[in-house]
A and B are shown apart, each in its own frame.
Chain A
Amino acid sequence: MSIATLAQPVSRSSPLPEPPPPIMTMRGVSKGFGQGITRTEVLSNINLKIRPGEFLAVVGFSGSGKTTFTNLLAGLEMPDEGEVLFEGQPITGPGPERGLVFQNYSLLPWLTVRGNIALSVNRVFSHWPSRKRRDHVEKFINMVGLKHAAHRRPHELSGGMRQRTSLARTLAMKPKVLLLDEPLSALDALTRSVLQDEILRIWREEQQTCLMITNDVDEAIIVADRIVALNPGPRASLGPMFSVELARPRNRTELNHDEYFKGLRNAVTNYLVAVRQKDRDDQAARASQPRFELPELEPIVPSKPSVSVFSRSVSNSGQ
């Protein structure tokens, strides 16, 4: 992307030592859907390295291809070009070591909260004795605070409770990488901040690597170590990486007055707004262009001043 100068936030701490090998890598990944005239290119030339143990946030506008991006990491979709690596090995499909929390929860409506969580536990830890599995399920029901609703079916739950169930189902698989696709977008602000804190607590306790998709810059800054912007599609690519050098735990009310926080928020927001504006301008320019472009013919003229060329061509046509 050729977006010009952006004020990078000033780093407060000294630069990190040589980073460990990435847990997941995307190398030159492109992805589109459909064929022929209906084909849409969604992602193009995505390069990303996810460091083990980090919390990475991806921010982008709706429809820019964020779900496609997570599905590629989860292995639900295969890239058209390039490759996605997990611990150095190309991935061939989805697996329980990369836990995905779906944007629309995708809970099974015929199972209770407990049943939904037990399904994944029984599958991933099928070698455990049943007693241990049951305890494990209960532990995660309690972890997301759904003990009182464990016997309910999804249609009897609020949006936040569904999201917690979906989160618990994935967390209970003990994935090495947790992929969260807009886990909190459908929730109200209060529930949102509560769940942000819970996700952060679990991430710290389980020492997982976490990638969270979000459309909220504040949320990204509060949870993440690094933030990367996804440019608007089609042919979306990744924008610059912002690192968030704020001590944890981060307090929302204090941060609201923090100059560094404000600067970072402005930088990310300005980048997103600018890149979208540019995208719109490009589209407008494309739309106003004539449908049939004239061949680009260079008039062969001897080196003469342009004014005289013009006057000569006028006089030529007049002849």
Chain B
Amino acid sequence: MSFRGFLIKVCHVTGLPVLEPFVRLAYGEDPKEQFRGIAKFILVPLLAVGLFLGAWSMAARVVVTDSMKLPGPGETWNAGTQLFAMHFEQRRADAEKQREKARSAIKLYAQAKATEKIAQKSEDPAKQKALQARASVLKRQALDAANYVPSSAPTFVDQIITSLKTVFFGFMVATLIAVPIGILCGMSPWFNAAFNPFIQVFKPVSPLAWLPLAGLVIVWWYSSLQSEPFFSKAFLISAITVSLCSLWPTLVNTTLGVASVDKDYLNVARVLNLSWSQRLFKIILPASLPLMFAGLRISLGVGWMVLIAADMLAQNPGLGKFVWDEFQNGSSLTYARIAFSVIVIGLIGLLLDRFMIFLRNLVSFGNPAAA
């Protein structure tokens, strides 16, 4: 395949048809046609965004109460840049503090060594003992300083990272549960009949209803643990709520994908006398991957949406808690920050979706339309 063909294929598989006209233009294909493509994918969306911003600023001038005011695009942007500036300022301060601590750790350690040396030389046993005790205290202080972890409040960026971690953890748990069960349901109508009532009933349940139950189970589980658990309680509650909600699309789509494997492929397996596991791994799974990934994509979208609500309610650090805290604070910047968070949440959701489309296209054998 030519390099040009390869680039165009990459555009399709990554779900970025935006870039295709540029590739074609770079290779000197009919410019008129390509400019139409550019207009469609870039100019028109830009125009629409511009119109939206205009409408938004107008609305910001109108929607005003005694104490509150809808922030305009400019305020939102400023609040956002400020949030990032605060994050970097915090990081810088933390790093500075850490460097300072490291320096003092070295100093303390040197002192401890010197004290030890003096203690060795000293003849008076009582003085020697006192000096050695002093040295070990200094050593411990040095160790503490060296292991210093800044304990400042999480910034906006920290909250984003926490949210991403939570959603991925929850999504992973859901995938590990949903895919095997979906495969079993797809392969055996009996199994499907047994599972179907649960799927039908639990699928439409809102995350807010799951949350207290998940919380109960986690609290019970933690109370029975002896050692210090690896995850914090709030994190697990949010993650499990995400799992419970993002389970269903994957489960349903996997079942459908496995159940609708082309009969001809199964006949190939029969003619070759493939064993059960070979049939599963060589025929059924590859054939159902595109539908399975379509399900995973919906699941991740649902998970991200649910996570914000779960964070708010479970008080788990994350974007949801950030929004909630801002709302409770009621500073002059509150609504601008919340508006900015809304946009960031949307953009991250978009990126996650693109990423899943990319994965799905990868397993659709270079034929995205077929999936």
Residues of A bordering B, CB below 8 Å: 74, 76, 93-96, 99-100, 102, 104, 106, 108-111, 119-120, 123-124, 153, 155, 173
Q: How far is the CB of A245 from chain B (nearest CB, A)?
A: 34
**Chain B 262-284 interface mask (CB, 8 Å, partner A; 1/0):** 10110110111110001000110
Q: Are A155 and B268 in contact (CB under 8 A)?
A: no
Residues of A within 8 A of B262 (CB): 106
Q: Are A106 and B287 in contact (CB under 8 A)?
A: no
7 example contacts (A-B, Cβ-Cβ < 8 A) are as follows: A96-B271, A100-B271, A106-B268, A109-B367, A110-B286, A123-B272, A123-B278
**Chain B 188-223 interface mask (CB, 8 Å, partner A; 1/0):** 000000000000000000000000000000000000
Residues of B within 8 A of A100 (CB): 271
Most chain A CB within a 10 A radius of its CB, from B271, B272, B289: B271
B355 CB within 8 Å of chain A: no
What separation, in Å, do the CA atoms of A153 and B366 have in the docked complex?
Answer: 9
Q: Are B267 and A155 in contact (CB under 8 A)?
A: no
Q: Are B267 and A106 in contact (CB under 8 A)?
A: yes
B interface residues, tally (CB under 8 Å): 20
Please give 13 more A-B residue pairs, beta carbons under 8 A apart, in addition to A94-B267, A110-B287, A119-B282: A76-B267, A93-B270, A95-B271, A106-B264, A106-B268, A108-B265, A108-B268, A108-B286, A110-B286, A110-B289, A123-B272, A124-B272, A155-B367
Residues of A within 8 A of B268 (CB): 102, 106, 108
What separation, in Å, do the CA atoms of A209 and B267 have in the docked complex?
Answer: 22
Residues of A within 8 A of B327 (CB): none
Which A residue's beta carbon lies closest to that of B286?
A: A110
Q: Are B365 and A109 in contact (CB under 8 A)?
A: yes
Q: Are A155 and B365 in contact (CB under 8 A)?
A: yes
Number of A-B contacts (CB under 8 A): 52
Binding site of B, secondary structure by majority: helix, strand, loop or mixed? helix
Q: How far is the CB of B108 from chain A (nearest CB, A)?
A: 62
What separation, in Å, do the CA atoms of A93 and B271 have in the docked complex?
Answer: 8
Which B residue's beta carbon lies closest to that of A156?
A: B366
What separation, in Å, do the CA atoms of A102 and B271 have in the docked complex?
Answer: 11
Residues of B within 8 A of A123 (CB): 272-274, 278
Q: Are A104 and B264 in contact (CB under 8 A)?
A: yes
Q: How far is the CB of A183 from chain B (nearest CB, A)?
A: 15
Q: Which of B270, B289, B366 contacts A94 (CB 8 A)?
A: B270
What separation, in Å, do the CA atoms of A111 and B283 have in the docked complex?
Answer: 10
Q: How far is the CB of B265 from chain A (nearest CB, A)?
A: 6
Q: How far is the CB of A235 from chain B (nearest CB, A)?
A: 25
Q: Are B273 and A108 in contact (CB under 8 A)?
A: no
The answer to whether residues A74 and B365 also contact, given A102-B264, A119-B282 and a CB cut-off of 8 A, is no
Q: How far is the CB of A178 from chain B (nearest CB, A)?
A: 12
Most chain B CB within a 10 A radius of its CB, from A123, A153, A173: A123
Q: How far is the CB of B261 from chain A (nearest CB, A)?
A: 11
Residues of A within 8 A of B366 (CB): 153, 155
Q: Are A94 and B271 in contact (CB under 8 A)?
A: yes
Q: How far is the CB of B334 from chain A (nearest CB, A)?
A: 52
The answer to whether residues A94 and B264 also contact, given A119-B282, A123-B278, A155-B367 and a CB cut-off of 8 A, is no
Q: How far is the CB of A185 from chain B (nearest CB, A)?
A: 16
Q: Are A102 and B286 in contact (CB under 8 A)?
A: no
The answer to whether residues A120 and B264 also contact, given A153-B365, A155-B367 and a CB cut-off of 8 A, is no
What separation, in Å, do the CA atoms of A95 and B270 have in the docked complex?
Answer: 8
Residues of B within 8 A of A110 (CB): 286-287, 289, 363, 365
Which B residue's beta carbon lies closest to that of A93?
A: B270
Q: Are A94 and B273 in contact (CB under 8 A)?
A: yes
Residues of B within 8 A of A106 (CB): 262, 264-265, 267-268
Residues of B within 8 A of A94 (CB): 267, 270-271, 273
Residues of A within 8 A of B283 (CB): 108
Which B residue's beta carbon lies closest to that of A166?
A: B268
Residues of A within 8 A of B273 (CB): 94-96, 123
Residues of B within 8 A of A76 (CB): 267, 270-271
Residues of B within 8 A of A99 (CB): 271
Most chain B CB within a 10 A radius of its CB, from A106, A153, A173: A106
